[in-house]
């Protein structure tokens, strides 16, 4: 049997646990190829469909989250082949269809397609060893999995241009200052911190979690007016749930809410 390119495990005790997906091509620093992206997509969809899972974590190794798209698999690709195969579009963006929160736990290199994959997650928690970059320009291409669009939204135009045009790497401290990552933690505490964040999410009302995620993502996809209008509709719709009644009643009664997911 061939070795899997992603490893999955379920962590936690409560009614909703955390699904952890570990990218696993250690010798190639988790360089992303089609087979790995197919397996990642299947693992994400499996956890998304599992009622016992509240939150999903995508991580890599200590040395690399992922060092980019696999250059050896792309080197000879022609323009006609890239179009015919729908390269990237076919299976690299499954993560964008996942409704549950997906946290990227990044240690070491997150370069090229690896940085783009991390940015497709809902938020990034980084080890102090993390290094982010879009170095594609050094190999005669440009970022092709959303990097030119998501990086400027995350860090602003000037820093994104700097990274995309010079191919320089950004360390974890700079990534936190720039807003690319939500927190930086010591490398040996990375998974503890990420699993604690996931647990905090697992304890919340599943409906508000899914809808809050979709609203924040809306801010990234369209214009401000559309986003605010979308948020208003979703906000109104939450008043149809039992969890809204329970959450507010619990606050007023100074007790913990008992979520039912209804």
CB 30, min distance to ligand DAK, A: 8
**Residue 87 or 132 with smaller CB distance to ligand DAK:** 87
In the block, tokens 């320089």 appear at 168
**Catalytic hit among 19, 54, 64, 116:** 116
**Residue 37 or 204 with smaller CB distance to ligand DAK:** 37
Q: Which residues, including other chains, have CB under 8 Å from residue 112's CB and lie 6 or more apart? A: 67, 68, 69, 133, 134, 135, 136, 143, 147
Helix (H) or strand (E) holding 113: helix 113-120
136 is catalytic: yes
Contact positions vs ligand DAK (CB under 6 A): 28-29, 31, 67-72, 82, 87-88, 109, 111-113, 135-136, 139, 141, 144-145
The residue with its CB nearest to ligand DAK is 144
Nearest to 15 by CA among 199, 241, 211: 199
116 is catalytic: yes
Torsion 259-41-182-63 (CA) sign: positive
54 is catalytic: no
**Residue 77 or 189 with smaller CB distance to ligand DAK:** 77
**Residue 8 or 39 with smaller CB distance to ligand DAK:** 39
**Catalytic hit among 19, 113, 114, 144:** 113
CB 108, min distance to ligand DAK, A: 8
CB 140, min distance to ligand DAK, A: 10
CB 119, min distance to ligand DAK, A: 12
C-alpha pair distances (Å), 59 with each of 28, 98, 163: 15, 16, 23
**Residue 101 or 114 with smaller CB distance to ligand DAK:** 114
Strands 53-59 and 64-66: unpaired
176 is catalytic: no
**How far is residue 121's CA from residue 169's CA, in Å, rounded to a whole number?**
20
Q: Which residues, including other chains, have CB under 8 Å from residue 11's CB and lie 6 or more apart? A: 17, 18, 20, 195
CB 168, min distance to ligand DAK, A: 12
Q: Which residues are catalytic?
A: 69, 113, 116, 136
């Amino acid at each position: 049997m061939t070795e899997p390119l992603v490893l999955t495990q379920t962590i936690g005790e409560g009614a909703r646990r955390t699904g952890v997906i570990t990218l696993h091509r250690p010798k190639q620093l988790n360089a992303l190829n089609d087979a790995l992206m197919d397996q990642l997509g299947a693992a994400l969809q499996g956890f998304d469909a599992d009622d016992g899972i509240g939150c999903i974590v995508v991580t890599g190794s200590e040395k690399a989250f992922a060092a980019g798209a696999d250059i050896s698999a792309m080197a000879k690709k022609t323009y006609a082949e890239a179009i015919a195969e729908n390269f990237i579009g076919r299976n690299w963006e499954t993560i964008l269809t996942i409704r549950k929160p997906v946290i990227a736990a990044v240690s070491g290199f997150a370069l090229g397609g690896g940085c783009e994959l991390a940015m497709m997650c809902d938020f990034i928690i980084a080890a102090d060893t993390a290094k982010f970059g879009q170095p594609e320009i050094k190999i005669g291409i440009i970022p092709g999995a959303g990097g030119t669009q998501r990086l400027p939204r995350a860090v602003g135009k000037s820093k994104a241009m700097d990274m995309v045009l010079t191919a320089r790497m950004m360390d974890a401290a700079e990534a936190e200052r720039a807003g690319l990552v939500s927190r930086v933690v010591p490398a040996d505490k990375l998974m503890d911190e990420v699993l604690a964040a996931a647990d905090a999410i697992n304890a919340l009302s599943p409906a508000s979690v899914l809808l809050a995620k979709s609203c924040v993502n809306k801010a990234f996809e369209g214009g401000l007016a559309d986003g605010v209008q979308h948020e208003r509709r979703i906000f109104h719709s939450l008043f149809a749930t039992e969890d809204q009644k329970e959450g507010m009643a619990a606050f007023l009664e100074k007790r913990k809410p008992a979520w039912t997911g209804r």
